[in-house]
Structure 1
């Protein structure tokens, strides 16, 4: 990290650290990790949670089929602008496969190995997307338990992989039908079931906050959107720059406090305040190595503004 202004300070009168946000603020730009139950669709679960909490906007990232369970991110307010990033996360699954005939373990392992690496993965006809040939990377497809006809398997794969298609293709290799009986998603990107809550836990936490004024449980469930962007290089900026950027203006050199080293033109960065608040995702228009030599001019252009307008006061006239 290159420090360009070690005397920069942030005003305590505006904004706040992400971990200090109120429930209402997290509803405007936060997310929930839900452990989806079997039965309802991902869209229905999202709608139930939205209506229960009285939110205008609540979307989901990474659809699970109605019969499937596991990690389903729910994104509120401005966090919905990050849906595309969530959808690209690698996923893991636990799948129970029922095989149409008795087979030996070595035969099953040999054919499962043929479905790892880059493979064709055509969505099943019952899926919600257009059926077309696509390739996906399957990094792991292994057996955890096997009784001759039923296999508990662990899968690690690229986003957009259809496990039902993997079961069908395994059946073609074994020359016998293979049925996907159960499917559970233990993780989506860096998020896991350990961080997830059930719909009942969410409802209870919301009730405690709304009816009893106890926000402890709901605060543990609501995560600031910054937690979704921990892997993005950060440029720290001054309060005045945050005000302009929240209106879509480019980041200018005088507004920079510190920058990462060795980033080239076009690199995506997260612009954050001295309090750690996400202001915008942006692309560098200058390599980071030349920015310390600049005194003015554009440093980065936002591609996704995340901070509500006027969180920090304007330093210009309307």
Structure 2
């Protein structure tokens, strides 16, 4: 059975049981849904950890955080991403708003806008995950396009036109577009011929485009027509890849709705965890630097990364490269730009090695571990702390009352003036 068949069968069962309001705990979950591997206890950013260069093995864990796949549902949705198969007609903004209302999250965003008439891969980020939306916008894209050519053209000419429009191209956005119509340079990596068929008086071509983000396929189709000396226009377009995410890994709007219905009605988190991925899933192609728990708060505040806090790091890190900084449990902390190479990290013992580009993890104020201090986090003291503080204040008030009474009695005995009595009270 193909992976796509597994997805169809599983989604059909989920939809059927969810609409009937039945209990679905007895359903057997397949090993893969839509080609996406099942989450395990090991984080997606902890792959090949034994191949990373070890800087130090002496560190103390503070018992904070958890594996991204094992987060509680509230935290899971807070750092989540959905790879959606966008339908035709609604705009990307409308689809993202619907996801926000379905999952009842505070904030959503998308990486790489699709026009209303275009379908395919759309990455939707939830809450804190929206900080990474720019990453997907700049990733490479792949499309399947249907072009209509009004004229007589054969397969050889069509292939020649596709080969001609590979490499760096000059484009200007179409008349109806959401950006300023400035001339721009974009790269088309490859045009792959799929099919050419004549229907009545026109030819319809099917081809695949692998290109840089921001390439206008509609303009590309018009330029192909100019090369052939006849009118050509884009009829239909579908995005089949965005970055490393392919259409086989995506879910539909109905899948999201049904999985959330099962979560609300039956408290079953298994299905929603298949649809929503941890935000770390979008960073698996980046090189990694693992740091100690003691420097997490400083990094969350935007501090530069020091070599003293590094535990492990990937090989072949270059200067100026974007790297993700992770905890010992595989949680993404920040996205940084390296100031030194991996070789220098291995040789040096101290110094700043990276500057922060984007903070992902939310800073959490915790109690100090070095000394037993009654710290109040975010001005919300615990019950024990409040009782101790109240008791200390009452003791201070009692001592102050006794001191004042003693001074007043002493003043009466010595027949002191009011000015002298006031001086003694102030000195006390």
In the TM superposition, residue 286 of structure 1 has moved relative to its aligned partner by: 3.5
Instruction: Check the 8 A contact 1:239/1:312 in 2, yes or no.
Output: no
In the TM superposition, residue 314 of structure 1 has moved relative to its aligned partner by: 6.2
Distance 1:136 1:223 in 2: 31
In the TM superposition, residue 197 of structure 1 has moved relative to its aligned partner by: 0.5
| Alignment of 1:14 onto 2:64 | yes
Distance 1:278 1:210 in 2: 28
In the TM superposition, residue 8 of structure 1 has moved relative to its aligned partner by: 3.0
Structure with larger Rg: 2
In the TM superposition, residue 185 of structure 1 has moved relative to its aligned partner by: 0.7
**Structure 1 287/110 Cα, relative in aligned 2: closer, same or farther at 3 Å?**
closer
| Alignment of 1:64 onto 2:118 | no
Residue of structure 2 equivalent to 1:77: 127
Distance 1:263 1:248 in 2: 21
Distance 1:311 1:222 in 2: 27
**Structure 1 118/314 Cα, relative in aligned 2: closer, same or farther at 3 Å?**
farther
Residue of structure 1 equivalent to 2:197: 147
Residue of structure 1 equivalent to 2:53: 2
Instruction: Check the 8 A contact 1:62/1:86 in 2, yes or no.
Output: yes
Distance 1:157 1:110 in 2: 18
Distance 1:289 1:126 in 2: 50
Distance 1:313 1:81 in 2: 28
Instruction: Tell me the SS of whatever aligns to 1:108.
Output: helix
TM-score norm. by structure 1 comes to 0.93
In the TM superposition, residue 115 of structure 1 has moved relative to its aligned partner by: 1.1
Residue of structure 2 equivalent to 1:239: 293
Instruction: Check the 8 A contact 1:71/1:193 in 2, yes or no.
Output: yes
In the TM superposition, residue 256 of structure 1 has moved relative to its aligned partner by: 1.1
Distance 1:115 1:311 in 2: 55
TM-score norm. by structure 2 comes to 0.70
Higher helix proportion: 2
Instruction: Tell me the SS of whatever aligns to 1:185.
Output: strand
CA RMSD of aligned residues (A): 2.0
Report 1 or 2 for greater relative contact order, CA contacts < 8 Å, sequence distance ≥ 6: 1
In the TM superposition, residue 292 of structure 1 has moved relative to its aligned partner by: 4.3
Distance 2:189 2:320 in 1: 29
Distance 1:120 1:205 in 2: 44
In the TM superposition, residue 195 of structure 1 has moved relative to its aligned partner by: 1.1
Distance 2:255 2:115 in 1: 21
In the TM superposition, residue 265 of structure 1 has moved relative to its aligned partner by: 3.8
1:244-263 pair list within 5 angstroms = 244-263=298-317
Gaps of 5+ in 2: 1-51, 378-428
Residue of structure 2 equivalent to 1:193: 247
| Alignment of 1:157 onto 2:203 | no
Distance 1:5 1:162 in 2: 49
| Alignment of 1:217 onto 2:267 | no
One of 65, 68, 75 as aligned partner of 1:25? 75
Note the alpha carbon deviations across 1:68-114, whole angstroms, 9 max, x for none.
Answer: 10000001122211111101111111111111123111111112221
Residue of structure 2 equivalent to 1:287: 341
Distance 2:367 2:224 in 1: 59
In the TM superposition, residue 248 of structure 1 has moved relative to its aligned partner by: 1.8
**Structure 1 100/121 Cα, relative in aligned 2: closer, same or farther at 3 Å?**
same
In the TM superposition, residue 139 of structure 1 has moved relative to its aligned partner by: 1.5
Distance 2:68 2:365 in 1: 13
One of 8, 20, 36 as aligned partner of 2:86? 36
| Alignment of 1:207 onto 2:258 | no
Question: How many residues were matched structurally?
Answer: 317
**Structure 1 264/117 Cα, relative in aligned 2: closer, same or farther at 3 Å?**
closer
**Structure 1 277/314 Cα, relative in aligned 2: closer, same or farther at 3 Å?**
farther
Gaps of 5+ in 1: none
Residue of structure 2 equivalent to 1:306: 360
